[in-house]
Structure 1
Amino acid sequence: MKIEEVLLTNKFENEYHKASLNIMYTSNFIQSLLKRRTDKEHITLQQYNILRILRGQNSKPATINLLKERLLDRMSDVSRIVDRLVQKKLVSRRMSNVDRRAVDIFITVEGLEVLKKLDKEMSIHAVLEQKLTDDECKQLNALLDKMRG
């Protein structure tokens, strides 16, 4: 569906204005789609991303700083999110054996089970594959990378 149809207007200042709105709308569309999927497991998108990072650590501990560096949403309060995941028993925290001031964070078996349930549903590339060709995705990636400079 064209952005004009979604926003019920064709009055844009210029193509840059239209593209900016289109990017924001599409981002929100994807976020909403993924949020509906994580809601089924009673976790947020940020919690899901932290669980994925921890699973990728392959049983090695992570710290709050490592999670902050790797999160898609860099504005998140990672400590608070980890606290909630601990309450849900999806992650555990332990004092670091290497640095007594640091806390190591690990994904639990329950956390791995939640990810296993969500793995297929959270694959957003399936949505893209239905709408865009491989070449179109390459072009889109190049344009988005160029935009971020």
Structure 2
Amino acid sequence: MNVEKIIKTDKQIPITSRTIIHLSLVETKINEMMTAALKPHGVSLQQFNVLRILRGQKGKPANLSTLNERMVTKMSNTTRLVDKLILKGYVERMVCPSNRRKVEINITSNGESALSLMDLAMKETEEKLLENFSTDDLRSLNDLLDKF
């Protein structure tokens, strides 16, 4: 990805600015491709993330606070994300029997099945995004990104 070509400039961009612009362009490319992979499944990246978090609970319910803490992209509209997933039949919301003020959220079997199909689409997209990287490249890149 050539930053100067993408932003259509002939000027030399200082390395610090070029790095930030480059990271932003890469993030945009990743988001575009992942969003496109999920589009046939009718879910957003954030909804996909919620489903994965709930699957990771292994049958144990989660509350909105847990979902917010574990989201890759922090957002304040988790309630709305859950509401949309309920309408699709992918999750269910229940009042906690021991604390009626607490709402618990579980993934449904329909949600588990749909998520399995989404996983395949996302795996293909990840492979396409990273096809030019060796395993060593990916380790090095992760080591560099860990410095953030």
Same fold, TM-score > 0.5, yes or no: yes
Match of 1:15 in 2: 15
CA distance in 1, matches of 2:29, 2:70: 23
Whole-Å separation in 2 of the counterparts to 1:35 and 1:129: 16
Cα distance in structure 2, aligned partners of 1:21 and 1:129: 19
Higher mean displacement: 125-134 or 112-121: 125-134
Structure 1, unpaired ranges of 5+: none
**Alpha-carbon distance between aligned partners in 2 of 1:145 and 1:12, rounded to the nearest angstrom:** 27
Task: State whether residues 38 and 45 of structure 1, in contact with CA within 8 Å, keep that contact through their aligned partners in structure 2.
Answer: yes
Deviations 1:53-94 (A, max 9, x none): 111111110000000000011124111111111111110001
Runs of 4+ in 1 over 3 A off after TM superposition: none
Evaluate the alpha carbon distance shift between residue 73 and residue 114 of structure 1 in structure 2; reply closer, same or farther with a 3 A threshold.
same
Looking at structure 1, the residues matched to 70 and 99 of structure 2 have their Cα atoms a distance apart, in angstroms, of: 21
% identical aligned pairs: 33
TM value normalised by structure 2 = 0.91
Residues 1:57 and 2:41 are matched in the alignment: no
- Indicate the residue corresponding to 1:26 in structure 2: 26
**Count of paired positions:** 147
Q: How does 1:1-149 map to 2 (within 5 A)?
A: 1-123=1-123, 124-146=125-147, 148=148
TM-score, normalisation: structure 1: 0.91
- How far apart, CA to CA, are the structure 1 residues paired with 2:104 and 2:92? 8
Give the SS at the match of 2:29: helix
- 2:91·2:111 contact (CA, 8 Å) conserved in 1? yes
Residue 7 of structure 1: how far off its partner (Å): 2.2
How far is 1:128 from its partner? Answer: 4.8
Alpha-carbon deviation of 1:129? 4.2
Q: Give, in angstroms, the shift of residue 99 of structure 1.
A: 2.0
| Runs of 5+ consecutive residues of structure 2 not aligned to the other structure | none
CA RMSD of aligned residues (A): 1.5
Cα distance per residue 1:31-56 (max 9 Å; x no partner): 00000111111111100000011111
